[in-house]
Structure 1
Amino acid sequence: MELEDDLKRLKSYVTRADKVAHKRDVLLPKWLPIVEDYLAKKGKQNEDNPIYAYCTVWLFDVGNFARGIEFGLRAIELNQPMASSIRRQWPGFIADTVFDWASTQAEKGNSIEPYFGQVFKCVANTWKLPEQVTAKYYKFAGLALLRRKNGDVSPSHVGDVQRLQQADGYLAKAAELHKHAQVKTVRNKIAMRLRAIAELNAQ
């Protein structure tokens, strides 16, 4: 099968950068139009389509999160199997991939939206994932509300009471889901900040 030949060729690349470049410049231009045509046809989307799965994974690999999430959510909707080379199911794969990306972006002070928020809604409301995974999403969402522009988490710089309370709510949920969420210190700092604001407003 032609796809199998392409997968073997992909494995021959040693560095991640070369693999990503090959996916971006060769594999996706070749296979993505076939997937798009498949999605456009009515009635056959429930058939297993390994090309769909690999293209979706490759979209994430090359950093096209908008289309990767779109295709991944559609894969779940259509009950498409995950690519055989990946052991996780779609929700776990999407959640982990977007979380890793968001962590890197946040540390650099870059925006994590809209992709983190889009996946967080699924993690919080729809997907059944291990508690530890769901907890880390709630924790990250809480910390994101407390970050400075440089990426540092600092409750003391937040002056919006509602924002502080929302962050604390997310962190509390993380602790509820997973006892090792490690949010106690930052929650104490939020409480201190809320008290300071209340005292300032009372003057």
Structure 2
Amino acid sequence: MELDADLKRLKAFERLSDKIAHKRDVLLPKWLPIVDEYLKQKQDKPNEITDNSIFAYCAVWTFDVGDLTRGLELSFRAIELGQPMAGAIKRKWPGFIADTVFDWAEAQAENGSSIEPYFGTVFARVINDWKLPEPVTAKFYKFAGLALLRATNGDITPSHIGDVERLTKADQLLEKAASLHKHAQVKTVRNKIAMRLRALEDFASQGIIEAESQQTP
């Protein structure tokens, strides 16, 4: 009943920024200690599935306030425990986590900021553990490939990369994205990677020829 009352108060806020502030300053400090105690108790009964709405909402709210470390910790635990998703959210935990972290990573990358460790952590789950729709998995592969091509300002610049291994890895990730979803839209950047690889190969060949010519009596 108390949680329901808190949810009604939260819904009454008109501005998203006010909702986030209320979750950060009021709701999480109030409810997280209860969640922590609940998780300690679950250590003694790891196979018992229970529907704990407080746990589910706190897991979602930690993402909302930008605490991805705690958000991933709680949401991964929710998956392990078979905890249902909070409230009216229709997605299951893997889909919710994937979408939330992907959106965060996109914003970070556009600003030239690091996307790790959160993107890499979720990407590993997406490709190894979770059966998400092909377009979702494809966009993770694409984003991982593009991340290898980004300059410090966030621009995607294959032509400025001199590392053949890095370019090849990026192309492999983009190729996988295309194989999963025909509308992945990676053809243009893959062509740029191929051009850059050819250019690097030409540079290397010219260097060998020049070195050999210098050694000729």
**TMscore range, shorter length:** over 0.9
- For residues 40-59 of structure 1, what are the structure 2 equivalents within 5 Å? 40-41=40-41, 42-43=44-45, 46-59=49-62
Cα distance in 1 for residues equivalent to 2:28 and 2:81: 21
Q: Partner residue of 1:138? A: 141
For residue 85 of structure 1, the aligned residue among 88, 92, 97 is: 88
Cα offset, 1:46, TM superposition: 2.4
The AA in structure 1 aligned to 2:128 is: N
| Alignment correspondent of 2:118 | 115
Instruction: Write out aligned runs for 1:10-25 (5 A).
Output: 10-25=10-25
Query: Structure 1: any 5+ residue segments left out of the alignment?
Result: none
Query: Which residue matches 1:94?
Result: 97
Q: Distance in 1 between matches of 2:105 and 2:148?
A: 13
Q: Confirm or deny that 1:147 pairs with 2:150.
A: yes
Residue aligned with 2:153, SS: coil
Tell me how far apart the structure 2 counterparts of residues 138 and 198 of structure 1 sit (CA, whole Å): 26
Q: Deviations over 1:63-121 (max 9, x none)?
A: 00011011111111111000022111000000000000000010000000000000000
TM-score, length basis structure 2: 0.92
TM-score scaled by length of structure 1: 0.98
Which of 144, 168, 175 is residue 178 of structure 2 equivalent to?
175
Q: Which residue of 1 aligns with 2:209?
A: none
Q: Which amino acid aligns with 2:77?
A: R
The letter of the residue matching 2:152 is: K
Q: In structure 2, what is the equivalent of residue 184 of structure 1?
A: 187
Q: Distance in 2 between matches of 1:122 and 1:151?
A: 25
Count of aligned positions: 203
Q: Which has the larger radius of gyration?
A: 2
Q: Secondary structure of 1:138's match?
A: helix
Structure 2: give runs of 5+ residues left out of the alignment: 207-217
